């Protein structure tokens, strides 16, 4: 729902809520429970068979593979340490591409838009998301990408995604869903990235507490070891952008990955 709402807002599409009244939901739930008990008590009357059929349909739906990504869609994922300059480089490349070819529809997505408020507040407090929270975020972010592509499927041919992808689990989720994507790493040292983070005003991400000096919320069940803040090494094919070079130079390299 959140992914669809974000896309609707970006495309100025009216949002119409289609939920039913809570009273109707309660009545439907009561009817469903009553039917289940009736089926359990009627093994020879087809009740057990109906329950079996419902389970079978549910299991089959869980095993259905996601709809295949349009093979003609070109996707570039710009990633790197927080503060590396990913969004700035991506926006420069998109602006340059739009200036050269105004009729070309290139979809630019910053996955920071998908980060929920509670996670932003935790980052600011020095609390890193758990593996389960990151996995849930990956599903939400992929849903956002899918909905954004669907909203412009008639015109867009290229999608540029910007996000840190600090941990392997997030990378793996996107690599599995989008195996055709080209990954472009904005390569910076931890010190350089932290310096840029420290110069930003009003941003929720303050960086690794042991480098930024941010106060940790203390040991809790939700807190993760500080090593999870560290940018995982990249062990798959990718384009390398030198984070010490000017934005315009890196944007030019990125344009080559996009196919300009």
Q: What is the pLDDT along the chain (260 residues), one digit of tens a residue?
A: 454 445 444 545 544 444 555 555 667 667 677 777 777 777 666 766 776 666 665 565 555 445 656 778 899 999 999 989 999 999 999 999 888 888 888 899 999 999 999 999 988 888 889 999 999 999 999 999 999 999 998 888 889 999 999 999 999 999 999 999 999 999 999 888 888 777 776 666 666 656 554 444 444 444 444 578 889 999 999 999 999 999 999 999 999 888 75
Q: Which H or E element spans position 241?
A: strand 239-242
How far is the CA of 153 from the CAs of 16, 62, 99, 107, in angstroms?
Answer: 21, 26, 22, 10
The whole-angstrom separation of Cα 144 and Cα 141 is 5
């Amino acid at each position: 729902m959140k992914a669809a709402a974000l896309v609707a807002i970006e495309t100025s599409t009216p949002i119409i809520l289609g939920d039913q009244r809570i009273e109707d939901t309660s009545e439907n739930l009561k009817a469903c429970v009553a039917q289940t008990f009736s089926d359990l008590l009627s093994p020879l009357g087809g009740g057990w068979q109906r329950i079996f059929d419902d389970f079978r349909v549910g299991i089959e739906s869980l095993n259905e593979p996601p709809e295949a990504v349009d093979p003609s869609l070109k996707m570039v994922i710009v990633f790197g340490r927080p503060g590396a300059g990913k969004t700035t480089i991506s926006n420069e490349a998109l602006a340059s591409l739009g200036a050269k070819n105004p009729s070309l529809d290139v979809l630019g997505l910053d996955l920071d838009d998908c980060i929920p408020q509670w996670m932003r507040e935790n980052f600011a407090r020095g609390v890193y998301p758990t593996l389960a929270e990151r996995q849930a975020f990956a599903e939400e972010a992929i849903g956002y990408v899918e909905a954004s592509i669907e909203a412009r499927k008639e015109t867009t041919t290229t999608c540029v995604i910007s996000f840190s992808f600090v941990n392997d689990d997030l990378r793996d989720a996107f690599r599995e869903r989008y195996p055709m994507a080209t990954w472009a790493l904005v390569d910076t040292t931890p010190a350089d990235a932290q310096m840029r983070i420290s110069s930003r005003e009003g941003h929720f991400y303050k960086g690794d507490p042991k480098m930024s000096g941010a106060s940790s919320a203390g040991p809790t069940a939700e807190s993760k070891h500080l090593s999870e803040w560290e940018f995982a090494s990249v062990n798959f094919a990718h384009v390398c952008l030198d984070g010490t070079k000017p934005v315009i130079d890196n944007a030019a390299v990125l344009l080559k990955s996009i196919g300009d």
